[in-house]
Structure 1
Amino acid sequence: MSGRTRRLWTLQPSRFAVLSRGRARLAWLAVLLLVLASLTALTVPSLTGDGDSAAATADRMTDIGLYERVVAAMKGGDTYYVAASDAMRAGSYPLRPFFTMRLPALAALQALLPGWASIALLLALAALTAFAWASRVGVALNGLFPRAVMMMLLAVSMLAFFQPGLVLFHEVWAGLLVALSLALRRPGRALEAIALGLAAMLIRETAALYAIVMLAFAWGEGRRREALGWGVALLLFAGVLALHAHAVTGVTGPLDAASPGWSAFNGPGFFLRALVTSTALQALPVMVGAVLIVLALLGWASWDEPLGLRMFALLIAYGVVIAIFARLDNFYWALMIAPAALLGLVFVPDALADLWHRALDKRRITVTTIGP
């Protein structure tokens, strides 16, 4: 059925090429509703505003300043938990519950390295991640122009990850590890992906959502060994998190400030705006950026490869979590999925073409019976 639809940018038909006419029309309706839903991004206040009452403290350190102070104290001989708790108190940061304090892995690594080495390692990881995604997506494209667009979209997605000034930011490292893990994962070869996913979780606990998504896909596809691997990684992470909670309890007390919580219910518009802010789309009007992200979701859903469906599910999973739990000053959570998010746009021309042809398909099957 898809043979009559000329391929535009991709070598193979999209997932939508086999839809019935009725389902294709429903898909068009869903696309329209999603584009309209992106208008809610306009209702979200500026993400550079106060966000919560704690952010109104005039002398509060920035997050990067906090991480700098922690690493400097560790290089001076302090243990991580003493350095982190002292720095957080000095910056009026909440210390309760325990996960307001980052896991120690990244700070411990950076305390061992000179600053230039840490930056070089970050840039190398970013370059490797970009190469991995360009290799995976590039083979699905037809011609130089779509590949050039792919590289441009990769640059737009990964702008923040090539900035040395963000070398201390946990989401930057964890987001790259998640993206590299997903790009390297292939059927029957998931060990590297699982190891990178575990590394991401040890840097930022929100990476556990990625591992859960991958576990669900592996189990649903009957890949029991891969599912077991993701399950073991999650159990190891849970053990580390329990030790972290115990260590934080040892350096905090009831007089330390508590977090205002993470049930902000800012909605899907906030997720779209957060992802816009986490990429070079921030240079565009918010509405344009939000629509492009919705179209990128469509593109990932249309790519008829396991990687496309996993990326789509990952964006939706983090989108739901950010929409429900993230406060305005938590917009940087979107960095966890930003590195490859916009690459889905390269699949949009063929996705829309396939939907258009399937929705307009008027062919009928006529059955003729010849009597005896």
Structure 2
Amino acid sequence: MVEESRFAGISGRGAKWVLGLLLALILASLWPAFDKSTPGVQPVAIVESDHQTQKTEIGGDDLRLYKAIVDRMGAGETYYNVATEEQRGRGFPLQPFVTVRLPTLALLLATLGKTLGYVLELTIGLAALYVWHQKLAQQKVIAWRRWTQVALLAAGLSPILNPQLVYMHEIWTGALITLSLGLYRPNNWVPSLVVAGCALALRELALPFVLLMAAFALQQRRWFETAAWTALILVFFAYVYIHFEAVSGVVLPNDLKSESWLLLGGPAAALSFMWQSLPLYELPAFISFPLILVGLFGWLCWRSEAGLFGLLLLLGYMLAFAITGRPNNFYWGYLVSPLLMMGFIFIGPGLNDLQTALKGERPATQLD
């Protein structure tokens, strides 16, 4: 089977520019990897205890906070009273109101219990693997690449295998975003919309994903679909307003205020957030940072609307990580990290077409 990458038909000069820019970015990524002042490059998840070095659990104090809230709700207490009491007692800020998580996940886990909640989370992950396999099959990506993609996506989703992380909002949301994108079809977008709504209900940081979905629908002049995504955004803002009112009713004037998230950490912070949210964290930063860029390049190579969407989604979130977020907020990377390594399966076709252009031959990438 023959399939062209996004670089099919590119000129030899254009191919040189693409490869030169890729090489320059990879080399540039090595600077923050070796810079000890880069947030996250040093093992922030490592602590000294009893003269031994050991890893702390992902999420740390945040995770213990969410668990305590769910446990008390399971005993019959109400969310906003419990959440504010726990955050106040543990020295967590309560201002602005977004420091208190939306109640959706806590209500879900308090109702289902940890075990059933974990089963549901696993089900979402398995569903994401299945729908992405089907999506690539419909786009006529050959079998070995589809199964490689499933393996790479499974690696990206691997944090859901840890039952202790069932309280982590970003892991749930990232799995739902991945599922929603895999479900999307221009002629059948309702399932994707519903799943995206679930992601929004769990974590407001899913909003850029929904905004991008609406923008793509608008650009393609799919008016009814655009209206549906817009309606979802409006419903979300109404939910956030209700949340704001509820938090305002229990927060005290002297409660702690959060430090600013606007730290302008730059590309180093963006790479660090993604690295710490991927299985690549087991590798040194000087290997992982270039691999993150290669994964992005793979999404660029995929000549499809889904490829362009995935690339813009990843770049958009990484831009946000470069501007906002403290080093201990690295787990925000879980919102999109499951998608990143999927780009690896499209690198070969892209490089083959670039090589063909450099040789001055007619581009036709063999995928099998």
2:182 is the alignment partner of 1:183: yes
Matched residue, 2:18: 27
Paired with 2:256 and 2:270, the residues of 1 have a C-alpha distance of: 27
**DSSP 3-state at the match of 1:339:** helix
Decide whether aligned partners of structure 1 residues 40 and 232 sit closer, same or farther in structure 2, where only a CA change above 3 A counts. Answer: farther
How far is the alpha carbon of 1:49 from its aligned partner? Answer: 3.3
Q: 1:46 aligns with which of 18, 40, 43?
A: 40
Aligned 8 A contact 2:131 2:182 in 1:
yes
How far is the alpha carbon of 1:229 from its aligned partner? Answer: 1.3
TM-score, L = length of structure 2? 0.89
Aligned 8 A contact 1:96 1:259 in 2:
yes
Paired residues for 1:23-172 under 5 Å: 23-42=14-33, 43=35, 44-46=38-40, 49=44, 62-137=61-136, 140-144=140-144, 146-172=145-171
How far is the alpha carbon of 1:143 from its aligned partner? Answer: 4.9
Paired residues for 1:261-280 under 5 Å: 261-280=260-279
Runs of 5+ in structure 1 lacking a partner? 1-6, 51-59, 364-372
Between the two proteins, the alignment pairs up a number of residues equal to 345
TM-score, L = length of structure 1? 0.88
2:346 is the alignment partner of 1:347: yes
Paired AA for residue 66 in structure 2? Y
Paired with 2:155 and 2:60, the residues of 1 have a C-alpha distance of: 29
Paired with 1:191 and 1:36, the residues of 2 have a C-alpha distance of: 42
Paired with 2:31 and 2:317, the residues of 1 have a C-alpha distance of: 17
Aligned 8 A contact 2:132 2:150 in 1:
no
Matched residue, 1:332: 331
Runs of 5+ in structure 2 lacking a partner? 46-58, 363-368
Paired with 1:245 and 1:322, the residues of 2 have a C-alpha distance of: 24
Paired with 1:163 and 1:174, the residues of 2 have a C-alpha distance of: 15
Larger Rg: 1
Paired with 1:40 and 1:209, the residues of 2 have a C-alpha distance of: 29
**DSSP 3-state at the match of 1:251:** coil
Q: Percent identity?
A: 33
How far is the alpha carbon of 1:280 from its aligned partner? Answer: 1.0
Aligned 8 A contact 1:292 1:345 in 2:
no
How far is the alpha carbon of 1:220 from its aligned partner? Answer: 1.3
Paired AA for residue 116 in structure 1? T
Higher mean Cα deviation, 28-37 or 117-126?
Answer: 28-37
**DSSP 3-state at the match of 2:350:** helix
Paired with 2:118 and 2:66, the residues of 1 have a C-alpha distance of: 15
Paired AA for residue 22 in structure 2? V
Aligned 8 A contact 2:40 2:276 in 1:
no
How far is the alpha carbon of 1:362 from its aligned partner? Answer: 7.3
**DSSP 3-state at the match of 2:186:** coil
Matched residue, 2:6: 15
Aligned 8 A contact 2:177 2:196 in 1:
yes
Paired with 1:142 and 1:353, the residues of 2 have a C-alpha distance of: 16
Paired with 1:178 and 1:154, the residues of 2 have a C-alpha distance of: 13
After superposition, give the CA deviation of every residue in 1:193-251 in whole Å (9 maximum; x if it has no partner).
11111111110000001011111111112222221111111111011011111111111
